Amino acid sequence: MSAGIHRIVILTGAGISAESGIDTFRSAGGLWEQHRIEDVATPEGFARDPDLVLGFYDMRRAALEKVEPNPAHAALARLEQEFAGELLLVTQNVDDLHERGGSAKVLHMHGELKSALCTSCDMRSPWLGTMLDRPPCPVCQARTLRPDVVWFGEMPYRMDRIYAALERCDLLVSIGTSGAVYPAAGFVQEARASGARTLELNLEPSEGSRLFHESRLGPASVLVPEWVDEVLSRAG
Ligand code: NAD
């Protein structure tokens, strides 16, 4: 699979952080930490009950302090350091476990818990504290911060950069994602249309499994280090 591989795009989803103790959406029957997606991950939910949404993400942000990256995050960091070709790591996750696992270059297409977006000035600022208490925006001072998380119905970040990489890559690897959330779920078709090989690493068959050339089933903490070893041994 890795012979002649020079440009890799990796897409990760909530499944890569599951063994670190962060719930996925689907594991709880479409709920996120006991909340309906419509309530905590849509602009309409935020408009309806901003306190619920701000408090929810304050809790998710605080919960990051209680979890650690797992061997899957560490393996991707090792790949970044040792792979001689081009690598783009795209994550749908809003946690910071890739960075804490050692990856220096991570594209968070759905935003980050540790970032705030001001709805007055549109600026994004690093954020570690709470938002429920309506702190001022560090840029314009308006008390209009929201989580810098891309909600359903909103445009993910850096799609131009991602599609450019998908057009050029010779391998797309999708890790721990259900293949249910677009546009990320469509990356496999984009990559295939450009002639790339496509590999899925997931605990169970995903909605998009049949679209991949190869699908390996198992926990990310096992499958990802194995795959990284394979790529680096063949490339070396
Ligand atoms: P998802 O919850 O829809 O799917 C998770 C997938 O991971 C499933 O297919 C499941 O079979 C697989 N999985 C579960 N445990 C695994 C393991 N140990 N090893 C490998 N695979 C495993 O998540 P998604 O596809 O990322 O999409 C949902 C959205 O949820 C994303 O937009 C994301 O922003 C958001 N989200 C993020 C986090 C996070 O940042 N950690 C957590 C929950 C939801």
pLDDT, tens digit, 9 for 90 and up, residues 62-92: 999 999 999 999 999 999 999 999 999 999 9
* CA distance linking residue 84 with residue 160, whole number of Å: 24
Up-side HSE of residue 50: CA atoms within 13 Å toward CB?
A: 11
Residue type, 165: A
Q: For ligand 1, which residues put their CB under 6 angstroms from it?
A: 13-15, 17-19, 22, 24-26, 32, 92-95, 110, 176-178, 180-181, 202-204, 206, 219-220
Closest atom of ligand 1 to CA, residue 219: 19
- Omega before 183 cis (within 30°)? yes
Q: Kindly report the pTM of this predicted structure.
A: 0.95
pLDDT, tens digit, 9 for 90 and up, residues 5-22: 999 999 999 999 999 999
Cα-flanking dihedrals φ and ψ of residue 224, to 5°?
Answer: -70, -50
Split at pLDDT 50, 70, 90, the class of 151 is very high
